[in-house]
Amino acid sequence: MRLLTLLLTFFLAVPTGAAQFSPEQRASRYMDSVRHNPGLLLAFLRDMPKGADLHNHLAGAIYAESWINFAVENGLCVDRTTSNLIAPPCDSSCERFTSKPSVRCAYADQVLYNSIIDAWSMRNWVRSEENSGHDHFFATFDKFLPAQINHTGDALAEVASLAAADHLQYVELMHTADGMASAQLGASLGWDDDFGQMREKLLNAGLKDVVSSTRSALDQDEVRMRSVLHCGTQQASSGCDVTVRYLYQVLRGLPKESVFSQIVLGFELASSDPRFVGLNLVMPEDWYVPMHDFGLHMKMLNYLHGVYPKVHIALHAGELAMGLVPPDSLSFHIRESIDRGHAERIGHGTAVMNENNAVDLLKKMAAHNIAVEISLSSSDLILGIRGDDHPLPIYLKYGVPVLLATDDEGVSRSDLTHEYLRAVEGFNLSYAQLKNMAGNSLRYSFLPPNDRARVRSRLEDEFTGFEHKF
């Protein structure tokens, strides 16, 4: 009897098997065990908490199927050849010989339906010399643009639902929320080389009214979003639990007076409405105006940052590749975006190793906690940069804060789970690295400290629950 007691005491005192490992270690070991089983790895990553998506364009986040529904509700027509939406009147018949049928005809015409989805997204796109992923990707937006009218609230609801399905706690959406009113105001006033005078002209000529109308429109859009999601009811969608904030989206391909006006609006919104947590400049970096006016745009940001020093700035920079632009154009955009554009986060940054003194730049980014928003799907589809050509491992090597993002998940036909899957399969990342990236997505968000702490606490709780499953 005494021997039995001693043996029981011994076995109870010495942990065996899984009990030797913490929940985090068990989750890590499980991920390693399914690393080469894509189905099980996908299921693991689907359930894993991911923090935030900080690089997400509202228009590009919506799937083409939803844009078709919105276009039908707007009574729009579609050009059979180009898949561009057109204002009514439409052809009276849905017969296939018609050139301008109602979008509604696509519901009964699978060929038309498929052609629209393929034109409005990267679905079925095939990489070839004659069919640029870059050009196809950026051409999608003008095709479905009219469907967005009166459907911003519906789009917000879809983004929140997609984020909840991805186990996200927070989304920062890039959104040109004024419907181009500020750009039109800037165009009407014309250019002034004196930034201070131009800003005053804009404010005195009605930009303050644009601020007010933009805030009111967003109020209505968020009411619609909550209604679609049934927030506050027993049927509430999980999307209701996702915190959504906005970066005012400046279209840097516009004439300089319109770009300046939009940037001023972005600073004004972020200074007056807590839902706007910063601003970003968008449109293809390699297009003529963004390239030609890059230095001018940095001067604008540098001046206005001095006027509004508390407003956060994230910038697309280095979303370029060798051959897309001349070599010298690859050599300074990221550094200038940080030094003169005051960017706290860099979007994409795929051309970083083409920058002058690239290693010094990486060390600077690490030292100053300049985070990089990595969107693997769009870098592949738009630039053809993937695998060993992508600088993700280099950013990690030099300690630059990295987070994963979707960019335009509706156009790319992806989601954040599949961005994580690409990261694991393409770069052999560990569970600890993924968990750190999820933490970075909240750590480097532009939420105010108290809100950030609340959302980070929720992420920690969800990781605790997730890891205890293993």
pLDDT digits 0-9 by tens, 82-112: 999 999 999 999 998 899 999 999 999 999 9
Peptide linkage before 255 cis (omega within 30 of 0) = no
Burial of 436: CB neighbours in 10 Å, binned 0-12, 13-18, 19+: middle
Q: Are residues 413 and 461 part of one domain?
A: yes
| Residues sharing a CB contact under 8 Å with residue 207, sequence separation 6 or more, in sequence order | 182, 185, 261, 264, 265, 268
State the pLDDT at residue 299.
Answer: 98
Q: What is the mean pLDDT of residues 166-173?
A: 97
Question: How far is residue 310 CA from its own chain's centroid?
Answer: 22
pLDDT at 9: 45
d(CA 163, CA 160): 5
4 has pLDDT over 70: no
User: What pLDDT is stored for residue 126 in this prediction?
Assistant: 86
Mean pLDDT, range 274-280, rounded to an integer: 98
Please give the tally of structural domains in the chain: 2
pLDDT at 130: 61
So what's the pLDDT on residue 18?
55
pLDDT for the residue numbered 128: 75
256 with 173, same domain: the answer is yes
Given a cut of 70, is residue 7 above it in pLDDT? no
73, 209: one domain = no
Alpha carbons within 13 angstroms on the beta-carbon side of residue 143 total 26
- Are both 257 and 121 inside the same structural domain? no
Per-residue model confidence as pLDDT tens digits over 291-300: 999 999 999 9
Cα–Cα nearest to 42, from 435, 425, 433? 425
**Rounded to whole angstroms, how far apart are CA atoms 110 and 108?**
6
With bands split at pLDDT 50, 70 and 90, how would you rate the model's confidence at 127? confident
Q: Which domain-ending residue is among 102, 132, 162?
A: 132
In a shared domain, residues 126 and 248:
no
Q: Is the pLDDT confidence value at 263 over 90?
A: yes
pLDDT averaged over every residue in the chain = 95
pLDDT tops 90 at residue 216: yes
Q: Is the pLDDT at 8 greater than 80, yes or no?
A: no
- Residue 235: inside a domain, yes or no? yes
Per the domain annotation, does 254 fall within a domain? yes
pLDDT in tens, 231-252: 999 999 999 999 999 999 999 9
pLDDT > 90: percent of the chain: 94
Tell which residue, 234, 300, 304, 294, has the closest CA to residue 267.
304
Both 331 and 230 in one domain: the answer is yes
Q: Report pLDDT for 131.
A: 75
Unique residue bearing structure tokens 């209604």: 227
Average pLDDT over every residue of 274-285:
98
Range(s) of the domain holding residue 157:
150-467
Are residues 322 and 457 both part of a single domain?
Answer: yes
278 and 343 housed in the same domain: yes
329, β-bridge pairs? none
| Same-domain pairing of 342 and 383 | yes
Residue 23: per-residue pLDDT: 95
Report the CATH number that the domain containing residue 418 is assigned in CATH.
3.20.20.140
Question: How far, CA to CA in Å, does 188 sit from each of 209, 226, 331, 412?
Answer: 15, 36, 35, 36
At a CB cut-off of 8 Å and minimum separation 6, what does 343 contact? 313, 314, 315, 317, 337, 370
Output the pLDDT for position 135: 93
pLDDT, residue 19, reads 65
**Counting beta carbons within 10 angstroms of the beta carbon of residue 356, is it exposed (0 to 12), middle (13 to 18) or buried (19 or more)?**
exposed
Q: Is residue 384 part of a domain?
A: yes
Is 442 found in the same domain as 326?
yes
**Residue range 29-63, pLDDT digits in tens:** 999 999 999 999 999 999 999 999 999 999 999 99
Residue 15 lies in a domain: no
Same domain, 163 and 121: no
Give pLDDT, residue 122: 96
Say if 295 falls within a structural domain: yes
Q: Is residue 380 part of a domain?
A: yes
pLDDT at 462: 96
Angstrom distances, CA of residue 82 to CA of 100, 133, 143, 265, 445: 10, 16, 8, 34, 39
The domain boundary residue, chosen from 132, 162, 182: 132
The percentage of the chain sitting over the pLDDT mark of 70, rounded to a whole number, equals 96
Q: Name the residue with tokens 């409405």.
A: 273
CA distances (Å), 67 to each of 62, 98, 377, 385, in order? 7, 22, 21, 28
Please check the confidence at residue 1 and state whether its pLDDT lies above 90.
Answer: no
> Looking at the domain assignment, is residue 143 inside a domain?
no
**48 inside domain:** no
**Residue 17, pLDDT score:** 52
- Predicted pLDDT at 129: 62
User: Does one domain contain both 173 and 106?
Assistant: no
